[in-house]
């Protein structure tokens, strides 16, 4: 290991590879800021460029830089415009956007940058230490365990429900799961619930749904509520620095979510999206009652948790990719294709046969996170000035990126009709005080949930896999606790309040 690490250090600090890290981080950051152009799209475009480089380690370093750069930059549009174009940054908008609305856009972007850097850096350190060992742990997870992991992800609805709204959150999650069933199913390669429309054969697009749930309702709200459009809370960009007290608050969150996010990222099929949702849910559930009230309204812990977790998970996702040759997400599947195109065979022998590639990629991740922090912190005052634009001028800007992001995602005009229809429905639901985040969680996890459940049913001839596999049962118990404990705490608080009222 020490010998391989030294080889990787010499490779990572070569002039060519350092330039590749900087180029990948720059490209990824700016692409991540644009809703609709996620890391999958840009990595697919960059593969022909990477192949022409010739050196496989330099090519993979470039593509890896684009990947975590896009996740790093994806928080910007989530925080400033409430328009998450990457699934892994959806949870960042839950508290990041309210902070921006309160005139704390600069502080929100600073927290996101620091949390992203810490999560990615700690993830890279853990990857260096645990990669050989974790490759064997990842092999223990089969379809049954992935199904249970998706259920744990869905149990995060308790974190987005708010006081007394658990029933509404469950209902919205079920709507998301139903929407995920549109298109071809896991058991039969036959279209379902498409109403005869060819454009729905591949299901609803995540980008379209994310824009419809978050960005479009925000634009419509600004149109319907001129007083809100005229609010000048975000006109001045100030409070770019976090205080010592705020630093003490988010430090343990960053520490916990760096470790949790990394280990979730190690599991093939989990990735940054589940890590960010679970990170948010866990931190809300363990927070004090007063802090829980702040979640969803601009809590710094609610922003630091998903930002740390998704960057740590991005780093962790390279464990199954490099050590097992198993892609953990759509993005790492494209990276796997790039590795094969470069005549590099990922797997258990990669660390032995080509240590310069394995260790150079890992070390470049830490360098890349440092580059991203140096690039982004000085730019925060200028990026945050987007919010100094009067709200009534910002509406066309939001609508343009929303419509273009949805169209670019599928290159299909039908997506625009779906976007408008779902956006109007989302606006009505928002007026009725229904949480929209659980719907998106249900949609994102629904496809993976169904695929793994179907495979488990086939392998174990029914639902017997729940009892046959202790790890699956353990994960399902954790999922149940994630829903029951917050509900119990809410009921106990309500009973205490009524008891105090009766005593008076």
- Residue-wise pLDDT for 186-214, tens only, equals 666 777 877 777 777 778 877 788 778 87
Q: What is the mean pLDDT of the chain?
A: 78
> Is the pLDDT score of 233 beyond 60?
no
> Is the pLDDT score of 473 beyond 80?
yes
pLDDT at 41: 65
Q: What share of the chain is helix, strand, coil (3-state, %, to 5)?
A: 80, 0, 20
How confident is residue 268, by pLDDT bands cut at 50, 70 and 90? low
Q: Which of 34-48, 91-105, 299-313, 341-355 has the lowest mean pLDDT?
A: 34-48
Please give the structure tokens belonging to residue 450.
């169904």
How confident is residue 259, by pLDDT bands cut at 50, 70 and 90? very high
Q: What is the pLDDT of residues 376-403, one digit of tens each?
A: 778 777 766 665 666 667 677 777 777 7
Please give the structure tokens belonging to residue 396.
């066309």
How confident is residue 231, by pLDDT bands cut at 50, 70 and 90? very low
- The three-class DSSP label of residue 183 is strand
pLDDT at 305: 92
Which has more pLDDT, 444 or 182? 182
**Nearest of 73, 81, 70 to residue 105 by alpha carbon:** 81
> Is the pLDDT score of 17 beyond 70?
yes
**Nearest of 418, 433, 147 to residue 269 by alpha carbon:** 147
C-alpha–C-alpha distance, residues 78 and 92, integer Å: 6
- What torsion, rounded to 10 degrees, do the Cα atoms 119, 122, 124, 130 define? -130
Contact 264, 309 (CB under 8 A): yes
C-alpha–C-alpha distance, residues 84 and 82, integer Å: 6
Percent of the chain at pLDDT above 90? 4
pLDDT at 36: 55
Instruction: Please list the residues that pair with 184 across neighbouring strands.
Output: 191
- The three-class DSSP label of residue 192 is strand
pLDDT at 28: 84
Non-local CB neighbours of 223 within 8 Å, separated by 6+ positions: 229, 395
> Is the pLDDT score of 314 beyond 50?
yes
Place of tokens 């299901």: 203
Q: What is the pLDDT of residues 319-360, one digit of tens each?
A: 777 776 666 666 776 777 778 778 887 766 677 777 788 888
How confident is residue 239, by pLDDT bands cut at 50, 70 and 90? low
Contact 278, 160 (CB under 8 A): no
Q: What is the pLDDT of residues 64-114, one digit of tens each?
A: 888 878 877 778 878 887 777 677 788 888 888 888 888 888 888 889 889
pLDDT at 136: 64
Instruction: Please list the residues that pair with 191 across neighbouring strands.
Output: 184
Residue 23, H or E segment: helix 15-33
Contact 309, 263 (CB under 8 A): no
Instruction: Please provide the DSSP assignment of 348-406 as one string.
Output: TTHHHH-HHHHHHHHHHHHHHHHHHHHHHHHHHHHHHGGGGS-HHHHHHHHHHHHHHHH
Q: What's the DSSP call for residue 82?
A: S
């Amino acid at each position: 290991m020490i010998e391989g690490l030294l080889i990787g250090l010499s490779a990572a600090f070569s002039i060519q590879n350092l330039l590749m890290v900087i180029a990948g981080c720059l490209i990824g950051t700016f692409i991540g800021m644009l809703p609709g152009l996620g890391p999958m799209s840009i990595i697919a475009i960059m593969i022909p460029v990477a192949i022409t480089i010739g050196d496989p380690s330099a090519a993979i370093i470039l593509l890896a830089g684009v990947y975590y750069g896009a996740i790093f930059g994806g928080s910007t549009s989530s925080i400033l415009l409430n328009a998450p174009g990457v699934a892994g940054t959806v949870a960042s908008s839950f508290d990041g956007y309210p902070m921006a609305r309160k005139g704390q856009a600069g502080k929100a972007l600073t927290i996101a940058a620091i949390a992203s850097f810490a999560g990615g850096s700690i993830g890279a350190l853990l990857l260096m230490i645990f990669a050989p060992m974790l490759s064997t742990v990842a092999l223990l997870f089969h379809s049954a365990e992935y199904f249970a992991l998706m259920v744990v992800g869905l149990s995060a609805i308790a974190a987005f429900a708010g006081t007394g709204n658990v029933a509404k959150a469950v209902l919205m999650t079920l709507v998301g799961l139903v929407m995920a069933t549109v298109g071809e199913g896991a058991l039969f390669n036959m279209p379902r619930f498409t109403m005869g429309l060819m454009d729905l054969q591949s299901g609803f697009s995540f980008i379209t749904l994310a824009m419809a749930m978050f960005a479009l309702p925000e634009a419509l709200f600004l149109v319907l509520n001129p007083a809100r459009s005229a609010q000048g809370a975000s006109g001045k960009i100030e409070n770019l620095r976090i205080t010592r007290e705020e630093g003490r608050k988010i430090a343990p969150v960053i520490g916990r979510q760096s470790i949790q996010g990394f280990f979730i990222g190690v599991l093939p099929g989990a990735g940054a999206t589940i890590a960010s949702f679970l990170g948010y849910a866990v931190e809300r559930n363990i927070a004090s009652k007063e802090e829980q009230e702040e979640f969803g309204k601009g809590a710094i812990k609610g922003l630091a948790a998903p930002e740390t977790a998704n960057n740590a998970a991005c780093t962790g996702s390279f464990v199954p990719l490099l050590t097992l040759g198993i892609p953990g997400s759509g993005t790492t599947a494209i990276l796997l294709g790039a590795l094969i195109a470069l005549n590099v065979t990922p797997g258990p022998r990669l660390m032995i046969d080509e240590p310069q590639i394995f260790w150079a990629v890992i070390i470049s991740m830490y360098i890349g996170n440092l580059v991203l922090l140096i690039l982004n912190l000085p730019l925060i005052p200028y990026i945050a000035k987007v919010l100094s634009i009067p709200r009534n001028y910002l509406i066309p800007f939001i609508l343009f990126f929303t419509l273009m992001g949805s169209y670019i995602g599928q290159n299909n005009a039908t997506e625009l009709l779906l976007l408008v229809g779902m956006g109007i429905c989302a606006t009505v639901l928002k007026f009725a005080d229904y949480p929209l985040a659980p719907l998106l969680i249900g949609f994102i996890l629904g496809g993976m949930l169904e695929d793994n459940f179907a495979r488990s049913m086939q392998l174990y001839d029914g639902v017997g896999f729940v009892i046959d596999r202790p790890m699956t049962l353990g994960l399902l118990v954790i999922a149940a606790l994630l829903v029951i404990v917050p509900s119990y705490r809410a009921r106990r608080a309500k009973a205490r309040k009524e008891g105090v009222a009766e005593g008076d």
